[in-house]
Structure 1
């Protein structure tokens, strides 16, 4: 590399007159040209190195606040949510608080009632007799000893006295050929689905708690059997989702493997979720593209979709979309941490987003009417749109990877869907975030990250 003295020499040589240049020896001219080419190459290389450095720093600085990473992945030193200040009061119920106690089971549910009477007065020792018409009731609740109910079916094989043919009896249609009753199947499904246990954990619970031994393969077969048993209900739930007025949707990668035999090539799977106040619907597919979203929501989906900016949802008209402001905030924070113009642009966006949520919290708390909220949001919307438009005015190369180029591209994308950021302002029952769908899908993320 050239040192500072050599660079100064080159700069000095570039300022010489044409007459002096003609008098310059050819060897010196050649040296100057080589040095100029080398400087140009080093400048390009330095630009590339700085660009890569900025990209790596952005990746290193990713947290749950500026990306979709979970809070558990945040490195040490990242500020968590501020804890609530201590009030200085003693723990527990405060004076005037209506306490709550454990509910007692009805008398008729008690298998046994044992009466306890004090024998003598603790003050003077006089014997006590009689009964309390309103005694203090203390109940002990116990689980009965659990042992499996085993019913054995014996299939006899008899020989025909006329022709000698041997015939084995067959199981009645109502008898499950897997060897497990409907309650066992339902319990396996409950432990797997509602309580989100792995196959191995279900296998362990069935043996240790219920005394029923089964292989991992059997656990999976019973899960599939339960799934097939409720197939009609699942279809009804999906139809309900596809006809709902407001639906929140999200998706995440899923370790499907080839559990059901439909993925022999072990392709990467995706878990999709659609959420409404009454029904939450999950679906596993081998695609994350538009067709996956259409299969989930229905080709003729006519409701309002609350989601992030994933391209698979772009087929839904912008007039029926609400972009998640939690995701938008992460985008704003990520860009505000970049140097130069990016920080200035996105800091302005972050401030407006914070104002928006201050107002929204007041609407949710009932201290601000929706009409007043709508009027106040107009200024915030105008400011955000102006900032996005300003970013759009910057000229960048098609393949440029500088921090500013990334910022401009993000702002241009947001500008195209700007109308989908504000539907919640005038739509009752529509949230500004897609947190409900993210909360619904989070257990799957946690389970498969263990």
Structure 2
């Protein structure tokens, strides 16, 4: 009763356009004259989730083998009990051409370790959340968007910390001015590295001043940053690394909108569908591949026991490379 293209379109309306099952039913009825029950929509989602299982697992392995990755997480809900939604978290591990999502009840380091794998040895860009502190500081890059907010907090709280915060913001502004010139090719990277030595030294000195002389909260945050001081400057010395985690944050932003309209997922099975369809939609978008064509081809292969098309960047949507 349900062809591959119709099933793929249904799942795309949920996974990319964030429509509820009821809105999907109405959309297909209005646009195509197709009448579906909510149960039929749920069954199509489960079938797509099963079909995506192997390609997503391969995408996870691909991320673990890369030289650099970005990690981020956001709040989620899974299931409901005693009148309230159960708290969960949606994570993303992203590289330039592949992004993998995972929904779990934990925001702890074990999730980050599972996403990256025990053999990951690339550069990792994150915020200061403690779940990432197990990773080698020399291979981390702290997000300067988050550090900017920290420094602004120094200013907003006033006192001696406000002066220090303003000086930190001045150094931050100098750094980004030069960084933008490196990116547009008007400043040589070698010159950037030389100039940044002074910035690195001054920022370190200011953070130490805040640690011992600023107000309690400001001093505490300065102390936390100093524990990861080395990770503030990795991008200066590693070509291709960005100073912010904005890439991962951009990828996870649609998920925040999804959560706000859907209130999360109702079951572990629903979470598996969402994390897998988000992985497919986001990854194919990064590769500029047609999502509807891929999902249709995937279901065609899945239903017939054929090798499954890959999500990896060197594959094409019509070239099967995964066993069922």
TM-score range, shorter chain: 0.7 to 0.9
Secondary structure at 1:306 match in 2:
strand
Conserved? CA contact 1:319–1:420, under 8 Å: yes
C-alpha deviation, 1:392, in angstroms: 2.1
The 2-side partners of 1:215 and 1:299 are apart by 44
Partner of 1:213: 35
1:45-194 residue pairs with structure 2 within 5 A? 179-194=1-16
Higher strand share: 2
C-alpha deviation, 1:296, in angstroms: 1.4
Partner of 1:387: 206
CA distances 1:233-266 after superposition (whole Å, capped 9, x unpaired): 10111111111111011100113327xxxxxx95
Number of aligned residue pairs: give it. 258
Partner of 2:72: 250
Conserved? CA contact 1:245–1:304, under 8 Å: yes
Partner of 2:59: 237
Secondary structure at 2:150 match in 1:
helix
Partner of 2:313: none
Partner of 1:169: none
Partner of 2:219: 408
Secondary structure at 1:270 match in 2:
strand
C-alpha deviation, 1:196, in angstroms: 3.0
Conserved? CA contact 1:388–1:411, under 8 Å: yes
The 2-side partners of 1:334 and 1:393 are apart by 17
Residue among 240, 252, 275 paired with 2:94: 275
1:319 aligns with 2:133: no
With the length of structure 2 as denominator, give the TM-score of the two structures.
0.76
Unaligned runs of 5+ in 1: 1-178, 259-264, 395-402
C-alpha deviation, 1:297, in angstroms: 1.4
1:371 aligns with 2:190: yes
Larger CA Rg, structure 1 vs 2 = 1
CA distances 1:348-389 after superposition (whole Å, capped 9, x unpaired): 111100110000000011000110000000000000000011
Residue among 221, 226, 231 paired with 1:420: 231
C-alpha deviation, 1:216, in angstroms: 2.5
Residue among 292, 296, 321 paired with 2:111: 292
Residue among 176, 180, 183 paired with 1:361: 180
1:334 aligns with 2:153: yes
The 2-side partners of 1:200 and 1:405 are apart by 51
C-alpha deviation, 1:224, in angstroms: 1.8
**What is the aligned-residue RMSD (CA, Å)?**
1.6
CA distances 1:383-420 after superposition (whole Å, capped 9, x unpaired): 000001112223xxxxxxxx810000000111110000
CA distances 1:291-344 after superposition (whole Å, capped 9, x unpaired): 111121112221111010011111110011000000100110111111211101
Residue among 248, 254, 266 paired with 1:443: 254
C-alpha deviation, 1:206, in angstroms: 1.4
Conserved? CA contact 1:370–1:426, under 8 Å: no
The 1-side partners of 2:174 and 2:22 are apart by 49
The 1-side partners of 2:90 and 2:51 are apart by 21
